[in-house]
DNA sequence: ACCCAGGCATTGG
DNA sequence: CCAATGCATGGG
């Protein structure tokens, strides 16, 4: 067991607690991620080796700096660099919020939310595979149910590292989920369909020389075209992947029930809207609709809206 | 028992 | 493009 340290300087403004909090759905721990007493922890999977990253803030919102500690099989300085890059990615450290805040200034309701959560970046998943599976598990179920099923899956099939009496989990690898049978997955409260979808996605992730992870160079439309070929992946899930796995700032899950409710409440006096109307309304936030969505969800999750 | 929840696939207008 | 339908499953 070895240890290494490094530091990351996110782009200001950056609020560490809010950003890491978004990763854990403001619940302390959510699946692979935890935020406890100002320390964000996540088990990284560096090509088969597990490394626990512990991150805390040693700066401020306007002069952000993160102290990162790695515990595990970190050997070379190249490992440390790769791990640091992954942490920076997970926390959306490089994102520039200022143009989004400019747009929010024209929108009083949104501006109230961005002021309250000033400096919150949009955290990202470690892989497209992870985003896809998490999205499938979140389809059409209450958030509490989604959280339970996601955690069960991670703790059953994810790589493990125990340190100081605490057990940490990384996200399951594709081959682990493909090795599980549909019956196995149903024991974790996945429906028959979701179990099939998840195995199909695992198969796609292992197939064709990483086609699934090779989406960064494609346009939003091309990515949607590609991932909706997968069974179980519709418009909502594709947009979710664009936002969480690829960091596309303008992706927008217009069919999302909670999002529709939030927009309907905040802007239309509770009147029901179709997905098309939501889509049209959302243009005011373009090309930062993903950020607007994240801030609205944060308002919902923390009880502000 | 009933209805809802941060959908998907399919079918029919 | 929009609406309706079957599917599935824990929570209120």
Report pLDDT digits (tens) over A37-68: 999 999 999 988 999 999 999 999 999 999 99
User: Can you read off the two tokens belonging to residue A179?
Assistant: 């090795």
Q: Looking at strand B, which nucleotides approach a protein CB closer than 7 A?
A: 4-9
C-alpha distances in angstroms, A223 versus A18, A215, A227, A255?
29, 6, 6, 18
CA of A206 to C1' of C10 (A): 32
Can you tell me which residue has the tokens 């502000």? Answer: A304
CA of A200 to C1' of C9 (A): 21
- % of residues, chain A, pLDDT over 70: 99
CA of A145 to C1' of B1 (A): 21
Q: A211 — phi, psi (to 5°)?
A: -50, -40
- Asked whether A37 and A142 are in contact (CB, 8 A), the reply is no
User: Can you read off the two tokens belonging to residue A170?
Assistant: 């990384």
- A144 Cβ within 7 A of any nucleic strand C atom: yes
Q: Which nucleotide is nearest to A232 (CA to C1')?
A: B8
User: Can you read off the two tokens belonging to residue A239?
Assistant: 């947009």
Q: Is the pLDDT of residue A275 over 90?
A: no
Q: What is the pLDDT of residues A104-142, one digit of tens each?
A: 999 999 999 999 999 999 999 999 999 999 999 999 999
d(CA A185, CA A191): 8
pLDDT at residue number A301: 84
- A191 Cβ within 7 A of any nucleic strand C atom: yes
The answer to whether the pTM exceeds 0.75 is: yes
Residues 6+ apart with CB under 8 A from A62: A12, A13
- A189 Cβ within 7 A of any nucleic strand C atom: yes
- A192 Cβ within 7 A of any nucleic strand C atom: yes
- A193 Cβ within 7 A of any nucleic strand C atom: yes
Looking at the C1' of nucleotide C10, which residue has the nearest alpha carbon?
Answer: A145
DSSP string, A23-81: HTTTSSEETTEEEETTEEEEEEEETTEEEEEEEEE-S-SSS--EEEEEEES--SHHHHH
C-alpha closest to that of A302 among A115, A34, A91, A116: A116
Mean pLDDT of chain A: 94
Q: Which nucleotide is nearest to A240 (CA to C1')?
A: B6
Residues 6+ apart with CB under 8 A from A1: A71, A72, A73, A163
CA of A58 to C1' of B10 (A): 54
CA of A73 to C1' of C11 (A): 42
Q: What is the pLDDT of residues A193-221, one digit of tens each?
A: 999 999 999 999 998 765 888 999 999 99
Q: What is the pLDDT of residues A240-258, one digit of tens each?
A: 999 999 999 999 999 999 9
Q: What is the pLDDT of residues A15-25, one digit of tens each?
A: 999 999 999 99
């Amino acid at each position: 067991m070895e240890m290494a340290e490094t530091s990351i300087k996110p782009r200001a403004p950056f609020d560490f607690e809010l950003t890491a909090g978004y990763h854990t759905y403001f619940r302390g721990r959510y699946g692979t991620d935890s935020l406890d007493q100002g320390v964000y922890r996540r088990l990284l999977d560096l090509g088969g080796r597990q490394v626990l990253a512990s991150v805390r803030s040693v700066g401020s919102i306007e002069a952000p700096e993160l102290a990162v500690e790695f515990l595990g099989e970190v050997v070379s300085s190249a490992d440390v660099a790769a791990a640091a890059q992954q942490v920076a990615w997970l926390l959306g450290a490089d994102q520039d919020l200022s143009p989004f805040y400019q747009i929010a200034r024209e929108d009083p309701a949104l501006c109230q939310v961005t002021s309250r959560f000033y400096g919150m970046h949009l955290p990202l998943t470690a892989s497209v595979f992870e985003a896809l599976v998490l999205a499938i598990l979140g389809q059409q179920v209450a958030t509490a149910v989604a959280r339970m099923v996601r955690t069960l899956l991670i703790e059953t099939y994810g790589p493990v590292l125990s340190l100081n009496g605490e057990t940490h989990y990384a996200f399951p690898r594709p081959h682990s989920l493909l090795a599980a049978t549909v019956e196995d997955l149903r024991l974790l409260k996945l429906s028959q369909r979701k179990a099939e979808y998840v195995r199909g996605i695992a198969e796609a992730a292992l197939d064709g020389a990483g086609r699934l992870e090779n989406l960064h160079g494609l346009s939003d439309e091309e990515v949607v075209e590609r991932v909706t070929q997968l069974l179980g992946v519709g418009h909502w899930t594709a947009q979710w992947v664009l936002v969480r796995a690829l960091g596309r700032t303008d992706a927008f899950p217009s069919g999302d029930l909670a999002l529709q409710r939030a927009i309907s409440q905040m802007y239309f006096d509770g009147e029901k809207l179709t997905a098309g109307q939501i889509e049209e309304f959302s243009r005011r936030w373009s090309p930062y609709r993903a950020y607007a969505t994240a801030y609205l969800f944060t308002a919902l999750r923390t009880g502000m809206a």
